[in-house]
Structure 1
Amino acid sequence: MPAPITTSAGAGAASVGDARAQRSALTLLASLFFMWGFITVINNTLLPHLRSVFDLSYTQTTLIESVWFIAYFFASIPSAKLIEAIGYKKSMVTGLLIMAAGALLMIPAARIPSYGVVLTALFIIASGITLLQVAANPYVAVVGPPETASSRLNLVQAFNSLGTTLAPLFGGYLILSRSASGNAEAGHVMTQAERLADAQSVQLPYFIVAVVLVLLAVVIGRYKLPDLGGSSRQAAAGERRKQSLWKHRNLVLGIPAIFIYLIAEIGVSNLFINFVSDPKIGNLTHAQASNYLFLLWGGMMVGRFVGSFWMRKVDPGKVLAIFSSLAFVVMVVTVFASGPAAMWSLIAVGLFHSIMFPTIFTLGIKGLGALTEEGSGLLVMAIAGGALVVVQGILADKFGLQISFLLTAVCELYVLFYALWGSKVTAEEEPVALEAQSAPAE
């Protein structure tokens, strides 16, 4: 007989199966978080590369990342509907296969080469990641005790950061170090032959990524992942009709918190290589700068492991307030300092950004009860805020790259506001009795 589980009013979480099944599921989910972090940050080495290949302005360069995050806006609601129809596990497998298809499309995009096809391929990859985000983030929140939801999500997000930490080394070695643009000195004008050769250098990395994604899809497809089951989803649907998302301040203000935070995170990571390569800052080649991007993402990984441990004892809202305050300080230093001080302050913001997304996410769904899935979908849709990184590109073109990081500093202030006041729960839904299955019904 299936064991009963309960959606907690305190965190909108449910305990699924026994502790061993939970740990096993989290281990597998950590691999998903690793892969979508890895493939997302390959873009950070790809962007300066494409800027040289297609001779793009900062605005056009950041538009590439904007297309990536626009996918979150368009794909989030369909993803939630798909999960409701086929369940978590099949949705995760589908997301991985969509990502693999987009990665394979990068191969003809490089051979042509075509800026438009590159944008299309990245949109497809991002749509697959959106499906994974909508499925995996709330699943992590419900696959254990509600009081440790923030700690748990920070832990698996640390593996996401492990992927983002290793990706610059992978991209730097297989893309930047093997290209003329990656090893060129500042001011070098590339020939047409060099541009074509550089465009084709992305084929091998994305082929490798596609193969790994397909293999991971096969593993998850064969894995007995604990699932809430169809009857649970129907029960929760009945409760949702009686309740309203909009009376939950922590969710209503959490949606813009995710949106605004993504502008900050993506602006820093996308423009990092160009910034530290500047003769007045780090005076590095793009290939050399990618090694420092490794430190930026490594700081996020360390911060998430530390944050996961810290939040077992300290209120997540307080931790978020401390980290957002320190992020604001280092971004002000980045804007007004020069040389190594500006470079290392920008690297340091990775440490302080580390816990922001998973902590805002779990604070945003706290107390939603049966509304947790809809709330999660809206928070994932807010990741589309990363598309507004193009605003920083416009500021960089008009006022200078260093001044454009004032936008990041302002974003940190909103996260601080959310931590101190906006994340407070104003209403909690009643627990909803659900039915768990030790093996998937899908």
Structure 2
Amino acid sequence: MENTTTQSATPDYRRPFITITLLFFLWGFITVMNDVLIPYLKESFELSYFQAGLVQFAFFGAFFFVSLVYYFVSLSKGDPINRIGYKLSIIIALLICGAGCAMFFPAAEFRSYPFFLAALFLLATGVTLLQIAANPYAAILGKPETASSRLNLAQGVNSLGTTIAPIAGGLLLYKVFAPGGEVTIDSIKLPYLIYGSLFVLLAIIVWRSHLPSFSKDDEDTNDQGGDGSLGALKFPHLRFGMIAIFMYVGGEVAIGSYLISFMMHDSIMGLPEATASIFLAYYWGGAMIGRLCGAISLSGLASQSQKYGYMAITAIVVLLVVYTVTAIRIEEGAFAMDFLSPVQVLPFLGLIAINFVAFIAGRGNAARVLWVFSISMVVLLCIASFTGGSLAFWAALGTGLFNSIMWSNIFTLAIKDLKQHTSQGSSLLVMMIVGGAIVPLIMGAAADRIGIQLAFAVPIVNYVYIAFYGLIGHRVQEATPAVGTLETA
């Protein structure tokens, strides 16, 4: 088997990386579909808000449970991905996703809400395994110093999936499979069969594709557990990174979950829900801009002027796409365009410029960019929480731009030099996605007590910690003894 652990990137890595980015797109798409799914299930089964919230609980709960099981299996039996390889692991994960989507059909036939929750859990199991395998694989498909760039590019494609999923899902449910425009539980069947077919098709593509293998020494593969070892948890920079992932995912999901309510509040803009929903696309579009620009900023391009030029072009193109997409509305089966005034979105250009300056301040270093963006998030959330009107409005929307690179940068910093423990470390990081289920609950409880605007101060603590990780936490491993001699409590 080819040993490429220390090998630099080769031209052969481009095609495998394109294949892997398709995975990022598809799981981004299917994850955001939960937001489209919840209202239909709530109405069809006459659920309370708490019962409808079990959709996200089942989905995000799978991330925690499956990752925890993966970690303990890797300790006792050896890392599964090290044993069967990245390619087979990805294929198995895609087929599980396909099976989860297929379960929506019998769930709709039986009119069973627990059946739907089981289908979501199975679907999320596949997505969890995809994340465990695909994130580190994308990171090692090339030079170590550009790993953050590759993950940012892949996450940018992921953001494309999260941006178009609500639009595509709405079209399928409302206009294609809903008889007479009335959405019923039966309307969900065929869309999820289509999604399941896409997962199976992608599994076939991966099976037919050439994906480079990455081998480990025999003694490395066997050093997984059974001797009281903590495995990947022995590494302090990974443990700090797990908390950082929890804080990041929790903060991003919490902000996104309550943005519409924030924009509708009288002290902010008092927008109607439909208009607030349009502006929400700028939050997720900002995340796409930041991730794609991050991929360029942290890439191996030698010329800084080239980097800045490509970043500016990318930001403008994505902004125009988001501006156009948010203008589309459907009236009686026909497409119509209803553009926001350019003046209305002009402040967003200013936020993009500030984001650009933050990238320059980061100097192409993943850790430095991370803490610069974290400090920027603290400032924006303070403005959103303690001012008002359009200033608070745009500060809240601007957080998407600065949340953008955090997953990729934290992930690559946390798995750095884990060697044979990389897949195990990846499972622990993916497990901490459970922050997306916990932090929004805390923020929601705060909103009930102190109001939605002041509740936007809750995630500030998240980004203070992430700034610490970018400054100090990620560097602990540099002064740590070799893997074989590292023993921490």
| Residue 294 (str. 1) matches residue 281 (str. 2) | yes
Tell me the equivalent position of 2:397. 347
Aligned to 2:64: 73
Matches within 5 A, 1:34-433: 34-51=25-42, 59-79=50-70, 81-110=79-108, 113-175=111-173, 197-229=183-215, 232=216, 234-238=218-222, 245-276=232-263, 281=269, 283-285=271-273, 289-312=276-299, 314-338=364-388, 340-388=390-438, 389-426=440-477, 427=479
Counterpart secondary structure, 1:423 = helix
Q: 1:143 to 1:206 in 2, by over 3 A?
A: same
**Alpha-carbon deviation of 1:72?**
1.1
CA distance in 2, matches of 1:42, 1:265: 17
Asked whether the 8 Å contact 2:415–2:422 carries over to 1, the reply is yes
Q: 1:228 to 1:359 in 2, by over 3 A?
A: same
Q: Distance in 2 between matches of 1:34 and 1:62?
A: 25
Q: 2:338 maps to what in 1? A: none
Q: Is the 8 A contact 2:81 2:423 kept in 1?
A: no
Q: 1 CA distance for matches of 2:165 and 2:87?
A: 26
Contact residue 59 and residue 394 of structure 1 kept, 8 A: no
How far apart in 1 are the matches of 2:46 and 2:392? 27
1:174 positional shift: 3.3
User: In the alignment, does 2:11 pair up with 1:20?
Assistant: yes
Amino acid at match of 1:128: G
- How far the C-alpha of 1:4 sits from its partner, in A, is 3.6
The letter of the residue matching 2:205 is V
- For each residue in 1:53-104, what CA deviation from the matched residue of structure 2 results, as whole angstroms up to 9, or x when unmatched? 5565655554432321111111125556442342211111111111122222
Residues 273 and 293, structure 1, Cα contact 8 Å, conserved in 2: yes
SS at match of 1:407: coil
Give, as a single letter, the amino acid of the residue that structure 2 aligns with 1:378.
L
More displaced 10-residue stretch of structure 1: 92-101 or 353-362: 92-101
Once residues 182 and 223 of structure 2 are traced to their aligned partners in structure 1, the CA distance between those partners, rounded to angstroms, is 57
* Higher RCO by CA contacts (8 Å cutoff, separation 6 or greater): 1
Q: Comparing 48-57 with 342-351, which one deviates more in the overlay? A: 48-57
Q: Is contact 2:29–2:162 with CA below 8 Å preserved after alignment?
A: yes
> How big is the shift at 1:139?
0.9
Long gaps (5+) in structure 2: 300-362, 485-489
**Deviations 1:210-262 (CA, angstroms, capped at 9, x unpaired):** 22111111111111211225xx3644224557996455332111111111211
Q: In structure 1, what is the Cα distance between the partners aligned to 2:430 and 2:392?
A: 32
Instruction: Confirm or deny: 8 A CA contact 2:376 2:402 kept in the other structure.
Output: yes
Is the contact made by 1:70 and 1:384 (CA closer than 8 Å) also made in structure 2?
yes
| Structure 2 letter corresponding to 1:23 | R
- 1: CA distance, partners of 2:141 / 2:25: 18
Q: Could you tell me how far apart the structure 1 residues matched to 2:464 and 2:387 are?
A: 20
Q: Percent identity?
A: 40
TM-score by length of 2: 0.74
How far apart are residue 377 of structure 1 and its match? Answer: 1.9
Q: What is the TM-score when the length of structure 1 is the normalising length?
A: 0.81
CA RMSD of aligned residues (A): 3.3
Structure 1 unaligned segments of length 5 or more: list them: 7-13, 181-193, 433-442
